[in-house]
């Protein structure tokens, strides 16, 4: 969670320009000029329409959160599960040797707020059943909350291709009204098709993959909290550290949403 974990998400950084670039390269190789697919009006229709649909669909809070989530797509500050396991194992060993109450002194150093809260409740002597229920519910709500930015992009990726078709049909109407003027025909249709490209392209090269990456990261954070939750409950139960590690290793069998190399 802390800044020291901030790592560049190389697949995101590569994926967006790569997809766009190769498509445009293909277009250039076919002999198409860049200018023929830069169309202010098509952009206005597709992006404007999609923006309107997204605004009507969500609250300002959700949309702002979706915008800030872009940072998470490219720069990931999630902790690798192995590190989380190492951290909780340290507290487990500590609790085993000096007792659960001795964890109180460690609390200020716990950086993850979910873990700190859970350990604090253990120190306070919370009832184990109520504690599990409370932490599980909080984890679920948190995951639902964390998935909302993904939903915003998913909705945008659902609206934009159909609004692209809307733009295409609007363009075709103009074309049809100038059928007697064949010189305008081809170019007119070309203009109309650019809207389709914007709709399909933004959805498949940007909105939907972004939604997917955000969902994977929200899922990862949820599994990491689950891991802390199980560890804390096992600490409270007084399980021996070996058994706790056994349990956590089973739970930590999860891919990380990005590679482990650190950003400079």
82 is an interface residue for its own copies by CB under 8 A: no
Q: 174 near 164, Cβ under 8 Å?
A: no
Region from 19-27, 90-98, 101-109 binding its own copies, contact rule CB under 8 A: 19-27
Binders of its own copies in range 162-221 (CB under 8 A) = 162-163, 165-167, 169-180, 182, 185-187, 189-191, 193-194, 196-197, 200-201, 203-206, 208-210, 212-213, 216
Residue 156 to residues 19, 159, 199: CA-CA distances in angstroms? 19, 5, 10
CB-nearer residue toward its own copies: 98 or 173: 173
Nearest-approach distance from CB 242 to its own copies, in angstroms: 9
Q: Tell which positions 137-156 bind its own copies, by CB under 8 A.
A: 137-138, 141-142, 144-145, 148, 155
Query: Can residue 254 be called a binding residue for its own copies (CB under 8 A)?
Result: yes
**Gap between the Cα atoms of 249 and 229, Å rounded:** 14
Residues in Cβ contact with 238 at an 8 Å cutoff, skipping those fewer than 6 apart: 96, 100
Token pair of 2 as six digits: 């802390």
* All residues at 6 or more sequence positions from 157 whose CB lies less than 8 Å from its CB, including other chains: 202, 203, 204, 206, 207, 208, 211
Residue 38 binds to its own copies (criterion: CB under 8 A): no
Which CB sits closer to its own copies, 84 or 210? 210
Minimum CB separation of residue 262 from its own copies in Å reads: 14
Q: Kindly state the smallest distance separating residue 106's Cβ from its own copies, in Å.
A: 19
Per-residue x/- track, 218-247, its own copies (CB under 8 A): -----x-------------------x--xx
The C-alpha atoms of residue 200 and residue 198 are separated, in whole angstroms, by 6
34 near its own copies (CB under 8 A): no
Total chain residues near its own copies (CB under 8 A)? 117
- 65 interacts with its own copies by CB under 8 A: yes
CB under 8 A, 24+ apart: contacts of 120-125: 122/232, 122/235, 122/236
Between the CA of residue 14 and those of 8, 120, 159, 202, what are the distances in Å? 11, 41, 25, 16
If one asks whether residue 75 binds its own copies (CB under 8 A), the answer comes out as: no
């Amino acid at each position: 969670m802390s800044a020291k974990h901030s790592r560049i998400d190389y697949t995101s950084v590569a994926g967006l320009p790569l997809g766009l670039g190769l498509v445009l390269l293909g277009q250039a190789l076919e002999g198409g000029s860049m200018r023929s697919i830069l169309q202010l009006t098509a952009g206005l229709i597709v992006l404007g329409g999609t923006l309107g649909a997204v605004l009507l669909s969500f609250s300002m809070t959700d949309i702002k959160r979706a915008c800030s989530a872009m940072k998470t797509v490219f720069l990931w500050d999630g902790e690798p599960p192995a590190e989380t396991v190492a951290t909780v194992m340290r507290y487990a060993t500590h609790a085993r040797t000096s007792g659960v109450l001795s964890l109180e002194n460690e609390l200020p150093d716990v950086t993850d707020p979910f873990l700190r809260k859970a350990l604090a409740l253990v120190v306070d002597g919370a009832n184990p059943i109520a504690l599990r229920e409370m932490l599980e519910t909080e984890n679920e709500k948190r995951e639902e909350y964390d998935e909302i930015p993904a939903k915003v992009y998913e909705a945008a990726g659902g609206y934009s291709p159909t609004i692209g078709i809307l733009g295409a049909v609007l363009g075709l109407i103009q074309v049809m009204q100038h059928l007697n003027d064949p010189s305008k025909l081809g170019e007119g249709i070309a203009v109309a098709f650019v809207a389709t490209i914007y709709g399909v392209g933004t959805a498949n090269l940007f909105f939907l993959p972004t939604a997917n990456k955000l969902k994977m990261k929200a899922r990862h954070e949820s599994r990491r909290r689950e891991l802390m939750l199980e560890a804390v409950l096992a600490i409270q139960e007084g399980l021996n550290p070996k058994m706790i590690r056994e349990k956590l290793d089973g739970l930590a069998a999860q891919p990380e949403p990005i590679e482990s190399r650190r950003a400079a």
